[in-house]
Amino acid sequence: MSDQPSQTELDALLEQAVRRHGVGRDALIPILSEVNKSIGYIPAEAFGKIRRRLNTPQEGLFLADSHVFAVASFYQMLSLQPTGAHVIRYCESAPCHVVGARQVLEAIQDELGILPGETTRDREWSLIPTSCIGVCGVGPVFLIDQDLYGNVTPDRVHEILDRYR
């Protein structure tokens, strides 16, 4: 994942995403997701490019750059800033909190040397707080990339992170 894709790389990625998902209103989130997955985040210059690709006469869409940005910034699984190769999203909800999420978060912070919202200097890890992940019965929980870990204890953090090193 590069810090900043070239305009040519971004244009090619968007063209591929539009071919795959189309230009209808329902294509916006899949296109944003594809950009996020490919680059590691959605760069600011992508908003206008996506808007121009989706504002087609046949679809009757009239999106503004701000609408594309609003959608991208609403979903916690999308990032507007460069992230690490592995993204840890930890649950901050009350059910996870009462079963030890704070101690698990502290173990992750100690292991990686970063605070919530930060990325390690080597760009390997980002630590992102999120609201409910939706599996309250197995808290504390966190996601690494798309992998879910539940019933996590602080002493399991090192072993779990080692799977990605």
CATH homologous superfamily of 86-162: Glutaredoxin (3.40.30.10)
Answer whether 87's CB lies under 8 Å from 48's CB: no
Give the HSE-up count for residue 153: Cα atoms under 13 Å, Cβ half-sphere.
2
Answer whether 63's CB lies under 8 Å from 55's CB: yes
- Tokens for 72? 């991208």
In this predicted structure, what is the pLDDT of residue 56? 63
Q: Which of 86, 103, 15, 4 is nearest to 52 (CA)?
A: 15
Amino acid identity of residue 151, one-letter, is: N
In this predicted structure, what is the pLDDT of residue 50? 93
Peptide linkage before 140 cis (omega within 30 of 0) = yes
In this predicted structure, what is the pLDDT of residue 3? 63
In this predicted structure, what is the pLDDT of residue 65? 80
Per-residue model confidence as pLDDT tens digits over 40-76:
899 999 999 999 888 766 556 677 788 899 999 988 7
Domain ranges of the chain: 7-74, 86-162
User: Which own/partner pairs from 2-10 qualify as long-range (CB within 8 Å, at least 24 positions apart)?
Assistant: 2/39, 3/82, 4/43, 5/39, 5/43, 7/45, 10/35, 10/39, 10/43, 10/45, 10/46, 10/49
**Residue numbers in the chain where pLDDT is lower than 50:** 1-2
In this predicted structure, what is the pLDDT of residue 61? 62
